[in-house]
Amino acid sequence: MIDPRLCNRPPIPWLSWRGFIEQGLSNVAGVTAILLAILLGILAILSRSLALWLRGTILSAIAAYAIILLPPTAQLAEWGLTTWLPADLGQPADAIVVLGRGRELNQNRARDALQLWQAGRAPLIFASGIGDAPILYRDLLQRGVPSNSLQLEACSQTTEENARFTAYLLQPQGIYRIILVSDPPHLLRSLLTFQSFGFRVIPHRSRVPEDITPRRRSLLLVREYAGLVAYALRGRYFPRDVTEVRRVAQVLSPALTPNGPRS
């Protein structure tokens, strides 16, 4: 199932640094101390006019960082990401696609996918994401979903690859209408990306676990706004040429398979 050319790739450089950056940003005292130290250094070595400008910039950054972590700001930021999502009105689909987003979020989305499947919304559950997809697959098996109603790809490292590899595996099976399961902040970027690959998407919000700290929730929102803008600047929301998916298929054909994990 796993081809070293694709699934055993080194992590994308940004992904290697992301966890470290997020962990550092969650330390309010540490971030503030670093910014203040930079400020003091600037005041000591630069000219007065330039030092005053940079001082204002750094103090503004400290204030913005503190405001971002406030619960009211986080609520407003989440509203901005979710207000544009169409409601899930219970329409049937060809498949339920569950996106991996880290172990702390897997349990809720496995439960949601199971409930959608039990309600008869779609005959197939498809898990996507390196590291997370096999965990979701096994969790759903343990919850009673038969293996012939489960598929996965465990190679994608980004939302772009989630959509690309899912299109490669599902669209040849005639699957175009999907229920897309992810956390609310992530759904807008996911919806736009999957639509660009020709899917008709019903977004389904999987709640962020209550035990995730408010600070961690705020950083998830910051990451999503950054990702939303970065994907827009790279043109990833425009419709893709079908030949693009076919070209990926030619490169990855031995690497991806809809089968479950092998023991």
Helix, strand or coil for residue 202? strand
Query: 168-185 pLDDT, tens per residue?
Result: 889 989 999 999 999 999
Task: Locate 114 and state its tokens.
Answer: 């199971």
With a pLDDT cut of 90, the percent of the chain lying above it is 41
User: Can you identify the CATH homologous superfamily of domain 90-208+236-252?
Assistant: HUPs (3.40.50.620)
pLDDT tens digits, one per residue of 8-59: 666 665 555 555 444 544 455 555 555 556 655 655 565 555 556 565 665 6
DSSP H helical ranges for 83-211: 103-118, 132-142, 159-170, 184-196
The strand pair at 125-128 and 150-153 is best described as parallel
Domain chopping of the chain, boundaries: 13-68, 90-208+236-252
What's the count of helices (H) and strands (E) in the chain, helices before strands? 10, 5
Res 20: pLDDT: 46
> Tell me, what's the pLDDT at 236?
92
Q: Give dist(CA 58, CA 52) in Å, integer.
A: 10
CA angle at residue 218 from 217 to 221, to 5 degrees? Answer: 90
